[in-house]
Chain A
Amino acid sequence: MGKHDILPQDDSVDEPKVSIKNLYKIFGDDPEAQMDAVRSGMGKPELMDQTGHALGLNNINLDIPARKIQVIMGLSGSGKSTLIRHLNRLIEPTAGEIWVDGEDVLAMDDKQLRDLRRFKMSMVFQKFGLLPHRTVLDNAKYGLEIQGVSDKEADERAVKWLERVGLAGFEDQYPSQLSGGQQQRVGLARALATDAEILLMDEAFSALDPLIRTDMQSILLELQEELHKTIIFITHDLDEALNIGDNIAILRDGEIIQSGDPQDIVMNPADDYITDFIRDINRAKVVRVRSIVKKGATGAGVTIKGTLSLEQALPKLHAAPDGCCPVVDKNGKPLGAVTLDGLIDALKAPESDGDDDVRYA
């Protein structure tokens, strides 16, 4: 049985785990014929009007680092579910490249592709995708069964993972007897049991109600602290993206419009679309102190860590005599200082450049 807490080997190498290059997907009768037009800049609505083809993905370039949670976020119709299905080729691209661990996924034959899906990538689905005629245990070991793992070992591993996601004792039930949250735990256990390094999560928590959703996010983060998998997580929920993402890529009309770490997106939204997006988030919880630090400054208050959220830092700043606290990074190195005013300033949602009256008229 594999140990799951072994630290990955090549921590130093910056080689991305998954690399997507110039990826295009056009839906329609003759997608290849539209490639020239799309390459020369034709957008989604024009392509639809002129040729009746739908532009699913438009020149996607994304490097996904190993052992991090990469969130791909967008509203419905933005192409995010299409994108994730390209990684294990549930959908074939019209043009472009997909590399996983330096291997060209599009060059794989059926057998290699099956092995990729069996051993390297596992997937969690929005609608769970559980097999209704199998018990919870048999569902959790489905991937192992297909890998050809012996029945006994598969049972042991499946039981272990069901336990890890908090479903001990449910082994003999059928999916229809479980709640949505429990069903998705089965889906998660099934995906984790295969020991695949890459976990694809397609709106995995979107069908759950908000409390259970946060619950599942914590489970995922807890597991990730130990497992260090490369997780590609699709969501339409910005709070969720900010909560779990190490990196976030925002997709609109099949194009990535901003990609970076969550702080970056919140503090420096690339355009009005994203500004609108982040307008309603709880900035006190999301923005970290390190994002608003004034370099070189210092203060009379207690020293605080840059990873604290503004909400957590507020009482300390308030207590400081001059309303100013020195900030250090997670290793204790001084970063500068924050002021109470600076903090309050950061709580204001950014204004979009466009004229609101016009845009919403």
Chain B
Amino acid sequence: MSDMTITTGDAVQAVDLAADFRESGVAGILDELDRELIGLKPVKLRIRETAALLLVERARRKLGLSTETPTLHMSFTGNPGTGKTTVALRIAGLLHRLGYVRKGHLISVTRDDLVGQYIGHTAPKTKEILKKAMGGVLFIDEAYYLYRPDNERDYGQEAIEILLQVMENQRDDLVVILAGYADRMEKFHQSNPGFRSRIAHHIDFPDYEDAELLTIAEAMLARQNYAFDADARKAMTDYIARRRAQPHFANARSIRNALDRARLRQANRLFEGAGGPIGADELSTIRAADITASRVFSASADADGKPA
């Protein structure tokens, strides 16, 4: 099949880990991760460690020292918008390069995709998703919704049982990543010991610092050929600090939404104030006014909790 199934008695006596590291393309993925993801230091460290472990494991296999597929299921905990899905995508690529999953695609699902509405609906639905995820990574966002302790007839339990069975029996076909808020995931693991024992890697995603969020904002804008001017950058710094204090703060996702609205206001400003032809500069500059118009600045006590 692949280079992984080398029997004992083969001529392989030594492996060059450094060469392995270069040739498997893992180096490329890790560098990309460092370059493109801002902040997330502990996460990057954990991924580096995991990659090293898997690389060594692969080398051990080549020498016939280990035969079992290591457990690769993971649990990502962290607040919304801290890059769990993005990192999962990279992990899928990483595992594919290392030969631990065959296809390396990511299927991202939530409770709705796994749990059915009536008796006998859940099993086929869960299996359908599992079949699609075979050879890749199944990412279950907000996994704790699968288990609802208050309703003993909830179909989530059925989905959990099927998942556990596949996680155990088809470890070399599929990797499952569970994701969600830290405290609720902890509770979920406590009430479902089966998951806890089958998950080898727990990775915690910290919240972004204000400075990191600003860098993220600038990177997001740059990707769409926009830029802040100096005042706008100051306004954005202020915005991030204020927004964090408000409810429903979702880290990078809040920033993306804020930028979307800023672009809307910028377009409106240009349209309303257009006296003559405007250049590319003007079209791609976000000014302070576009940001300070946000409701985050006007009402610090926005009771309905929906800041604009």
A is bound by B: no
